[in-house]
Structure 1
């Protein structure tokens, strides 16, 4: 059965010499990261992005931790790696796959007591962070891993092992609006939507640019469709049950005819719906430690609808994002669904 990853220092005991050695690795890489160019600060948060030589942006801890992961994570062929650009349906995907993989045990009970980000913590923000290089070898298969890191900086063992990779992509207009609300929920000062829009269009966003992030996983999917599944948020919202069945089959745990007849898959869809997750006490009042931030779980839940950008972006903003998307994706074969109505999760 899949197991949640360790996400706190108390769950990662180390001898003093090992901890010192790990800290030395982080300190050495921190010096390297300090030489990378800085991008404009995220307004309200007051923290500058750092641009990695591969062309993506993150705060210093994110870049540093991704580099540690690349060197020290050993993927296995039984692993399942979830990957998303931030605010593309990450919390929902974590919940769906965690419960699907634990459906013969206590998956739904654990979902009721723990945030999806506790059950499936981020590798770069909760597992490999704060001087920790955990030993994940004792976790039972299949290990359910999660990352926002682009495809290029991932450890070579991910591709070489043949482990399953699930990528969830979202309309960049909805993604931008969701990102804006997320940072607003954490920022001590206001963040103007126009400024957020300009930064997003310029590619300056967490683990962005958005388009290069999506294209990296899309091309990997084209090269290895049996290893990499490329799914869109809009597809998941329009047919959650069908896509859950597709996901379960892809990771090697298809629902049996008996399970379908008993409504096991439908029960998972209901338990992981936005309204269900947002209503849980752990998600109303709990917090998740993300590198240097303590993030209220409630910030991860807002509306969960397709097309909400229409309530926030001007027609000119929407047109500009569509033009960039068409230009960036031209010739790749990647076409994102365009919603004409709001579809609730």
Structure 2
């Protein structure tokens, strides 16, 4: 595709010299298409988008009545824009039903993105067309990117989040539609990998979501946190909640006359996609029609493998510590406690203070619940304060609060990270004796810790016991074992295990091949590594940049510059896909 046909915000042709200098000091990453991203204030942006962010931060003058619609890409942005436009249009007296703006423009044309549209090229754009109040804008920026610009202003922010699995599938199909290519499994797998490691446009997802989640805790009058799934399952309640937040509640007369139903019908994806204005036209080089698909909840199950779903579930549990659970707590006090401990751990890096807070609460007769303990344990383990985490488990036992599998997995992983595998196995036995059955992720955490700490024999015993107990080992488990065996230098046994995977009904993925190739290269078996590389291109998943980097490095270290040059040439010729997250 001609770069000029790509959405402008993913390119790098509109950045100033000052921004170029800033980028040179930032962490950078090149996607598989060769498009460059940089990490600014904890978020990954394409260069042109970063310019828009900087322009916004230096030039935006908020008005008290402004409304900003925020979201992570492909999380229901188009629908939310349409709903808010329709809610605000109720107060206007249109001479005809055909005057409604949604009948004449796409929602993204009516509500432009701050960093992608309004401030894309200048920090002082002409905002004359936004003379009416309230002004409506949108963004994919995390909340902390707007904090300084919006502080001390009462403007309102509405954020919508969506199940990450459905977001992934929507993004995959949307990106392929933009690129006008077939949505293949290899593209989905590449996108899945990038989503999981966080190095994607506007990523990491979990930091993005948590910025607005905390904002809704700290300033609920000005930040509304909505869930796409709830908007689908209970649309009447959610649209009324949205209207109340915007200061435009439905009157009793409106409800009785069917105004709520009219707005929901007008803004339904079925109706919006059937409008002539959304069948033609473009915004930011994206066809209007590409913004409308199924919008179904749970559609990802038709595309993701069980292993991919489990991986995403584990990431959500680890990174978010199930914040949704906190919304089910009836006690306002405990709701506040969870907010305090979570914020303390994740924003201020003061884990010991969070532990002291738990002790003070208990002393005052206010017993923290499982969510609170889970948040504190997670923070302690992330910071390597494992002994304190273990102490909290004892406090939970004393308070007769049953430790769940997520917390046990967190603590086991924490001890594995600091290399204390003996205590790790003791905690594992304690978990089993408490009546909790380990899941595949428990085993994977344990195996990974043993292999990384060069305790391969113990890891192999556990994997054998898993199979004897009827636990199916997935490709992630085998990747851990293969990595451990390569690290231990038992290459022949590793090769035998790899060859047995097909007999077990397990298909090697790109990580499996990369691990084998890297292990062979590290053991100076370049010819065998190249044989795996050929097999990978013939039977397995497509090689990625890591595959080539391992082979290039191995041949350079062996003095074979010609072979390295050939691998570099092939790597460059195969850089054909990139991730576009533009709406």
User: Scaled by the length of structure 2, what TM-score is found?
Assistant: 0.50
Match of 2:311 among 317, 320, 323: 320
Q: Distance in 2 between matches of 1:47 and 1:280?
A: 37
CA contact under 8 A between 2:174 and 2:290: conserved in structure 1?
Answer: yes
**Of the two, which has the highest radius of gyration?**
2
Match of 2:155 among 163, 180, 185: 163
Q: Does 1:39 pair with 2:32?
A: no
Q: Deviations over 1:195-238 (max 9, x none)?
A: 11000001122211111100011011111111111010001111
Q: Distance in 2 between matches of 1:333 and 1:49?
A: 34
Match of 1:73 among 32, 46, 60: 60
Q: Which ranges of structure 2 fall in alignment gaps of 5 or more residues?
A: 1-13, 329-583
Q: Distance in 1 between matches of 2:276 and 2:153?
A: 38
Q: Distance in 2 between matches of 1:112 and 1:257?
A: 27
User: Scaled by the length of structure 1, what TM-score is found?
Assistant: 0.83
Q: Distance in 1 between matches of 2:170 and 2:300?
A: 9
Partner of 1:85 in structure 2?
72
Q: Distance in 1 between matches of 2:324 and 2:89?
A: 35
Q: Which ranges of structure 1 fall in alignment gaps of 5 or more residues?
A: 1-23, 338-345
Superposition deviation, residue 26 in structure 1: 4.2
Partner of 1:219 in structure 2?
214
Superposition deviation, residue 160 in structure 1: 1.7
Partner of 2:170 in structure 1?
178
Match of 1:146 among 120, 138, 152: 138
Q: Deviations over 1:9-49 (max 9, x none)?
A: xxxxxxxxxxxxxxx994422442354333231x5xx2524
Judging changes above 3 Å, is the alpha-carbon distance between structure 1 residues 234 and 208 closer, same or farther for their aligned structure 2 residues?
Answer: same
Match of 1:301 among 292, 296, 314: 292
Q: Deviations over 1:322-341 (max 9, x none)?
A: 1100111117566799xxxx
Match of 2:51 among 64, 70, 89: 64
Judging changes above 3 Å, is the alpha-carbon distance between structure 1 residues 26 and 260 closer, same or farther for their aligned structure 2 residues?
Answer: farther
Match of 1:210 among 194, 205, 208: 205
Match of 1:246 among 216, 230, 241: 241
Q: Deviations over 1:125-157 (max 9, x none)?
A: 111113463243762321111000111111524
CA contact under 8 A between 1:56 and 1:209: conserved in structure 2?
Answer: yes
Q: Deviations over 1:265-322 (max 9, x none)?
A: 2101000001001111111111112xxxx01011111111000100110011001001
Partner of 1:120 in structure 2?
111
What is the number of residues matched between the two proteins? Answer: 308
Q: Quick one: higher RCO (CA 8 Å, sep 6+), 1 or 2?
A: 1
CA RMSD of superposed structures (Å): 2.4
Superposition deviation, residue 188 in structure 1: 5.1
Partner of 1:256 in structure 2?
251
Partner of 1:12 in structure 2?
none
CA contact under 8 A between 2:70 and 2:158: conserved in structure 1?
Answer: yes
Q: Distance in 2 between matches of 1:186 and 1:161?
A: 37
The structure richer in strand per residue is: 1
